[in-house]
Amino acid sequence: MSEHTIESRWARLGILFSIEPSQEPPDIERLLLDTARELSTNPRLFSLVVTWLVEHGFFVARHRLKHLVVTELEPEHQPVLGLLLDEAIEHGAPAELRIVRDVCQPATASRVLFNEYSQPSLAAIAKSTASELSKRWGIWAPPVELKRDAVRPSRWILDHNPYALGRVIRKGDLRTSILETLRLDLDGKAPSVSAVSRCTAATRVAVRDALRSLMKECAVVEDDPKKGIDGDRKIYLAVA
Amino acid sequence: MNAQPNHPEILQAVSKTGDLLAQQGVVDVVRLVIAGGVAGLFNGLTRTTADCDVLWSGDEEIWVQIATAAAQVADELGLPSTWLNKDCSIYADCFPLGWGDRVESVGCYGPLEVCRVSRFDLIASKLVSSPSRPQDLADIHDLKPTPEELGLLEKHLDRLASEHLDGHDYDAQRVVLHSLRSEQ
């Protein structure tokens, strides 16, 4: 089976799928977008990904995810991600994920979430068993039952994804998004603070503060340290 | 289908749990009947999880001993601490009569005699939960019940309805069954 299936990528992040984990470390934020896109045909992901977010939500670079939702996630899939996040927060995932949930748009017309229930008689069942949360997003889905017995502990995730240690130490905050945006989207360098601000959907003030902190951590460097971060200097990911 | 599941790590975990129990001096044979994700794997499902949901009606003290050993193994292998659990046991009444006689052997691991529920019993349990668990409806589609199995499933629903203390009629499950028939 392909190592790039959605299951193999989640397996690499600790979901106990019956499949080999992907060889490439997953881009967690884009994996969440792909999950929203695929959920209607892959219902098992629903409770598993909600459980993963409850257990490991601080691995998510939430400002980067917010930016990707706005710029990349198609409108028809936004209610799905909104529901996944809402269910996760309801069950104990980091409340900070609300900044992502809040940019997701609900469906304009109510419908079943899962294709398995697309026949009219089955759609009526889906509507009758739908959770209140799912109705608010306009996609009928049953309440989530967490599946903690199928999500590995964070120690395993870190053993298999050493790059993710910084994410969880920084609890997925803006510093995490800056570093992951530099690493995954900008080839390790940004032309200006404004560019970082745009790619993390955060204000320039917040980005400057986070960059100062990252410089103290020696995680990023600027091209002209004398002028300080307030000038629009190029920002580079520090070489480990 | 009786293929080995593509998840050697879980069989290794079961084996290590059996070894650990043997080291602790457990000699009496303990039967574990698997009904969850791993039972699905043995029945040919591929998009499922590899946790072991056990139908347990035995002594609670023995279960605690098994679960403690399984948690130790989980720590060693990086598995969820409850990878072996008996949460599904409360749904044992949803299985067709005689399911215990139809279990199929998986193997023996130390004192653990591991079995799995039969294909038909797995489908029947998934039919009962399918109105509120889309993954179970997806699994039924993947398992492709035969016309004969669909007939037996209807009888199963009839029995459950006749025995339900609150008069539950299993209408939603019958709608699912009807849709499965219409796809044949």
| A15: Cβ contacts below 8 Å, ≥ 6 apart | A7, A48, A49, A52, A150, A151, A152, B49
The CATH number of whichever domain residue A195 belongs to comes to: 1.10.10.10
Answer yes or no: is pLDDT of A54 > 70. Answer: yes
For residues A118 and A235, give the distance between their C-alpha atoms in angstroms, rounded to a whole number.
Answer: 49
pLDDT, tens digit, for every residue of A170-222?
Answer: 999 999 999 999 999 999 999 999 999 999 999 999 999 999 999 999 999 98
- Give the pLDDT confidence score for residue A226 in this predicted structure: 64
Expressed as residue numbers, the domain containing A178 is: 173-237
Whether residue A146 is found in the same domain as residue A178: no
- Give the pLDDT confidence score for residue A227 in this predicted structure: 62
Identify the DSSP state of A238: P
Task: Give how many domains chain A has, as a whole number.
Answer: 2
Query: Is A35 contained in some domain?
Result: yes
Which positions in chain B touch A18 (Cβ < 8 Å)?
5-7, 37, 41, 46, 48-50
For residues A4 and A21, give the distance between their C-alpha atoms in angstroms, rounded to a whole number.
Answer: 9
Whether residue A118 is found in the same domain as residue A210: no
Predicted TM-score (pTM) of this structure: 0.94
Answer yes or no: is pLDDT of A16 > 60. Answer: yes
Query: Is A166 contained in some domain?
Result: no
What percent of chain A clears pLDDT 90, i.e. is strictly above it?
A: 90
Could you say which of B81, B87, B172 has the minimum Cβ distance to residue A125?
B172
- Give the pLDDT confidence score for residue B40 in this predicted structure: 87
Whether residue A26 is found in the same domain as residue A68: yes
Query: Is A159 contained in some domain?
Result: no
If contacts are CB pairs under 8 Å, which of residues 44-63 in chain B contact chain A? 46-51, 53
Whether residue A39 is found in the same domain as residue A116: yes
What percent of chain A clears pLDDT 70, i.e. is strictly above it?
A: 95
CA-closest candidate to residue A102, choices A53, A60, A143, A66: A66
The reply to whether ipTM tops 0.90 is yes
pLDDT, tens digit, for every residue of A88-114?
Answer: 999 999 999 999 999 999 999 999 999
Give the residue carrying structure tokens 């917010």.
A66
Query: Is A162 contained in some domain?
Result: no
Mean pLDDT of chain A: 94
Whether residue A223 is found in the same domain as residue A142: no
- How large is the average pLDDT for residues B35-62? 87
Which amino acid is residue B42, in one-letter code? Answer: F
- Give the pLDDT confidence score for residue A52 in this predicted structure: 98
- Give the pLDDT confidence score for residue A93 in this predicted structure: 98
- Give the pLDDT confidence score for residue A168 in this predicted structure: 96
Answer yes or no: is pLDDT of B6 > 70. Answer: no
Give yes or no for A128 touching B (CB within 8 A). yes
Contact A142 B83 (CB under 8 A): no
What percent of chain B clears pLDDT 70, i.e. is strictly above it?
A: 96
For residues B179 and B163, give the distance between their C-alpha atoms in angstroms, rounded to a whole number.
Answer: 24
Answer yes or no: is pLDDT of B7 > 70. Answer: no
Give yes or no for A163 touching B (CB within 8 A). no
Whether residue A178 is found in the same domain as residue A123: no
Give yes or no for A140 touching B (CB within 8 A). no
Last residue of a domain, one of A150, A183, A203: A150
Whether residue A19 is found in the same domain as residue A137: yes
